[in-house]
Structure 1
Amino acid sequence: MAAELRRLRESSAVTLEEAAERLGWSKTKLSRIENVLRRVAVPEVQGLLDLYGVAGGRRDALIAFARTARQRDWWDTEPLRTDYATYIGLEAEAEALSCYSMGVIHGLLQTEEYARHIIRAALMRFKPPAEVDRRVAVRAARQAVLTERDQPLRFWSIIDEAVLDREIGGKKVMQAQYERLLELAELPNVMLQVMPASVGAHPGVIGSFSILQFPEQYFPNVVYVESMTGALYIEDEGQVHTHTLAFEQMQATALSPDDSTALLARRAGR
């Protein structure tokens, strides 16, 4: 909602200061709404849509979404970093997600043991075991978008071969992770490809990224790039388009889905 309200303001050629003044708000209030630092009430959304000249079905959909967005979801009850909670909310609303992973397997595909080693080693090394367990449970709960929604998330993952070579947690953990990938690859809404090392340079060598696609009436696509201490959300249409073209090129370069599952099966010892 915050991303779409900002995009509507910018496409209407209205500055932050002008919008705030015409609504009788402070600039800080509108800035906090657009930067996901303050929840926005339905009447406030209606006022913004009036200002930006949004009408018809798009207006109705955004107002309906604003009502739904104020409901507390399961991740709202967890003590999560703000940017991580924001991402989980976006992931839950997305209709499709395309990602390239060059460090670790994407969270939606991880087994609990694989996730535990990643979280403990990379994110929460000095946290108590109970907090690590809680974060593992959150990661497992996120995976419901693949199987438990009325319309499951359409998920396309390209995994760098180096990720499969990286032994996280030992051979048994990796064996279970290969089996998990093979299991998920059988779902009609999940597509897995492996990017072989022999390809050499390709658009993804710069780093991992995810492209989240949403129903048109909500907001435009978003590119998500995660770091150790935060996250970057790219909403500029040109930059999103560049990432989309890069992902399409990588789809053509990576092993086919059939060849990828065959590779995973060999690694699983089948």
Structure 2
Amino acid sequence: METGEGKPTPGDMAILCDLYSVSEPTRSALVTLAKEAGRRGWWTSYKDVFVGSYVGLEDEAAVISEWGVQLIPGLLQTEDYARAVIRSSLASKGVEEEVDRRVMARMARKTLVSRPSAPQVRVVLDEAVLHRPIGGAEVMNEQLRALVTASRRPNVSVRVLPYAVGEHVGLEGSFIVLEFDQDAELDIAYVEGTAGDVYVESSDHVDRYKVAFERICELALPVEESRAMITKCIKE
């Protein structure tokens, strides 16, 4: 542990707290942190897939707000939908082993939504996302059904911005805002791009993304109407 290469176990932390006379509630908080540290870092098993710090930040967030204009968010994708998206994005075709690896990583990542300490996940999708038949009709239908199911989770809201809305603040593209319990100063905005991902950390700039997301929410259909629209897009 002194070398920085290991993490203290809850037992180690309790002993250290006793050694240094750490009192409550700090003692309990440190022991809990040690417990959580044991499960965190799962993504290091996929360091060949996940580049940058986003997945680690996402894993710590209390609230995840995502505006999507092209695709269903990764946290809500089915395996077949994810496979179609990943296969289409790889520059070198025919590397099925790499596709499998990336799909496996994405499926591991999405367990974040259903774990006991799951964050609040707020998603607004452009209506076009519902009509883009990623992977073909069967795969898309399965994805839409899964989206409806996910939208019923108490920590997940899925809303749709309909075609009927004209110009709006989200036209420049998709983005994600991650909010943390500890301090609003830690909140970030994240924009994924072909030329590289952008992490927005300045509070003033992050606030602009927060305001933009709320404005998009004001224009989006309510949760129940959004669910009805998604269901209507499922082709039997």
TM-score in same-fold range (> 0.5) = yes
Residues in 1 aligned to 2:203 and 2:184: alpha-carbon distance in whole angstroms: 15
Aligned 8 A contact 2:159 2:223 in 1? yes
Give the 3 Å change call, closer, same or farther, for CA 40–232 of structure 1 in structure 2: farther
Structure 1 residue 249, shift from structure 2 partner? 0.8
Question: What residue is the counterpart of 2:54 in the other structure?
Answer: 87
The residue aligned with 1:187 is: 153
Q: Which residue of 2 aligns with 1:96?
A: 63
Paired with 1:137 and 1:213, the residues of 2 have a C-alpha distance of 26
Quote the Cα distance in structure 2 between the aligned partners of 1:71 and 1:189. 21
Q: Over aligned residues, Cα RMSD in angstroms? A: 2.8
Q: Does the aligned pair in 2 maintain the 1:96–1:212 contact within 8 Å?
A: yes
Distance, in Å, in 1 between the alignment partners of 2:176 and 2:164 is: 23
CA distance in 1, matches of 2:166, 2:235: 27
Task: Count residues in correspondence.
Answer: 213
**Residues 69-218 of structure 1: pairs in structure 2 closer than 5 A:** 73-78=41-46, 79-83=48-52, 86-123=53-90, 125-126=92-93, 128-148=95-115, 150-216=116-182
Distance in structure 2 (CA, Å) of the matches to 1:65 and 1:202: 42
- Amino acid in the other structure paired with 2:49: L
SS at match of 1:203: coil
- How far apart are 1:92 and its partner, in Å? 0.8
Distance of 2:5 and 2:124 partners within structure 1: 36
Aligned counterparts of 1:224 and 1:127: Cα–Cα separation in 2: 30
The verdict on how the C-alpha distance between 1:81 and 1:195 changes in structure 2, with shifts beyond 3 A counting, is same
Per-residue deviation at 1:174? Answer: 0.6
More helix per residue: 1
CA distance in 2, matches of 1:159, 1:136: 22
Cα offset for 1:188? Answer: 0.4
Q: Classify the secondary structure of the residue corresponding to 1:215.
A: coil
Distance of aligned partners of 1:184 and 1:128 in 2 relative to their CA distance in 1, 3 Å threshold: same
Report deviation, 1:143: 1.0
Over 3 Å counting, the alpha-carbon distance change for 1:178 and 1:151 in structure 2 is: same
Unmatched tracts of structure 1, length 5 or more = 1-38, 43-56
Alignment partners' CA distance in 1, 2:75 and 2:39: 24
CA distance in 2, matches of 1:164, 1:125: 28
Q: Which amino acid aligns with 2:171?
A: V
Does the aligned pair in 2 maintain the 1:178–1:264 contact within 8 Å?
A: yes
Please give the residue correspondences for 1:35-46 in structure 2 after superposition, counting only pairs within 5 Å: none
Q: Structure 2: how far apart are the matches of 1:41 and 1:221?
A: 27
AA partner of residue 74 (structure 1): W
> What TM-score results when the alignment is normalised by the length of structure 2?
0.81
Report the secondary structure of 1:168's partner residue: coil
CA–CA distance in 2 between the matches of 1:72 and 1:156? 22
Q: Are 1:260 and 2:226 matched, yes or no?
A: yes
CA distance 1:145–1:261, shift in 2 (3 Å): same
Per-residue CA shift, 1:80-132, capped at 9, x if unaligned? 2432xx11111111111000000111000111111001001024543610111
Using structure 1 for the length normalisation, give the TM-score. 0.71
- Give the superposition deviation at 1:223: 0.2
